[in-house]
Structure 1
Amino acid sequence: MKIRLTKNLEPLRASALARLDALVAEKIADETPPAIAALRSAKAQEAMLLLVSGGDADLTPLLEAESASLGVSLLDLAKEVLAKVAEANSDRIEIEVKRQRAQAAIRIAPTPAAIDAALLELEPSR
């Protein structure tokens, strides 16, 4: 354990909050490569646009191509894409709850050791 003596904890808090965000980003990136995540995000946006627009296929080139290649309706594909998004989001709820809890603990931590302790739940095992 490092011993740090300081009266101004704000630089330590800022550093810990940045580290927290980096840890969460690593956890999520480990689940899905960035290129796949970007593609899934684009498909989810198209699926939402399709449902909001009432079925305007001009707004959904990715889904249109996929539905044609799979031989499924555009609407069914959009619903499937959004169901997968909901499933992925439910898997990330625990990570987000831990992140929010750690953020709150960092913001009120009275000592450098308490700031470090707030990160422990998300730190990779050593």
Structure 2
Amino acid sequence: DSSLWSAQPSTHGGHVTTDLQLNQYVDAALCNGPKNVLLFLQEKLSIEDFTAFGGVYGNKQDSVFPNLENIMESSPSSLVLPAVDWYAANILPTYLKEKLGVSPLHVDPSTLLELRLDANIPSLLIVSLPYTSR
């Protein structure tokens, strides 16, 4: 539901989200939305990676992100930020742990489809994506 993000200013190309801005997004989402958080982290992943490898030109069968795409499409809400400050990204798991009151569960991308979550119990799943070289 995009209404989770409507109170937040939209980002634009070239904008780097700071830790304070990221905290505002997270706080708004956790106040209004579900308490299951799936956090994808990759050292070097950009929107260009999704354009180049995501099958965005009608070649969905060529996508290297099918699980990620399925999760985001079926999610009641999702937020994509073009660029996040290194410091903000680094402290985000700790910030989410404090906000949700749960320890993170590090999940292998290949096991995402097997997970079953209880919507009534907060959870923090962290998926570390491998670096993709061009």
TM-score, with structure 1 as normaliser? 0.28
* Structure whose residues are more often strand by fraction: 2
* Structure whose residues are more often helix by fraction: 1
Which structure has the bigger radius of gyration? 1
